[in-house]
Amino acid sequence: MEKIVQTAGRTALGDFAPEFAHFNDDVLFGENWNNQDIDHKIRCIITVVALMSSGITDSSLKYHLINAKTAGVTQKEIAAIITHCAFYVGWPKGWAVFNMAKEVWDD
């Protein structure tokens, strides 16, 4: 797998919160996302599920849905993942994630 490089933290917060930007770009994405102990596709699925369970349905979820699709998660798989998780984390959260996933997989 190609090494993941992230610059969003420095781009958005580099001057305002350089330490947070460092943790985001270098640790979360630089070290954690490049760790090979978990397959990239599985890591993408875990991240979508974590965001869904937290009720986060903003642009970060859309970014990670796109990332999951790029990693090979199919529309059928994401539909089954969201449906399964909705029983555990809340039906309204499922609806919210489905609305965003439809946009991503309709592209």
Tell me the per-residue pLDDT of 88-104, one tens digit each, with 9 for 90 and over. 999 999 999 999 999 99
| Sign of the torsion angle spanned by Cα atoms 92, 101, 64, 88 | positive
- Which residue in 100, 77, 96 sits closest to 86, CA to CA? 96
Question: How far, in Å, CA of 22 to CA of 33, rounded?
Answer: 14
Calpha distance 6→8 (Å, rounded): 6
Dig out the tokens for 66 from the structure: 């796109």
Confidence class of residue 3 from pLDDT cuts 50, 70 and 90? confident
pLDDT at position 67 is 95
* The pair of three-digit structure tokens given for residue 13, joined into one six-digit string: 């917060």
Q: What is the mean pLDDT of residues 22-46?
A: 93
Query: Mean pLDDT across the stretch 62-77?
Result: 97
Mean pLDDT of the chain: 94
What's the CA angle centered on 76, arms 99 and 39, to 5 degrees? 100
Average pLDDT of 14-26? 94
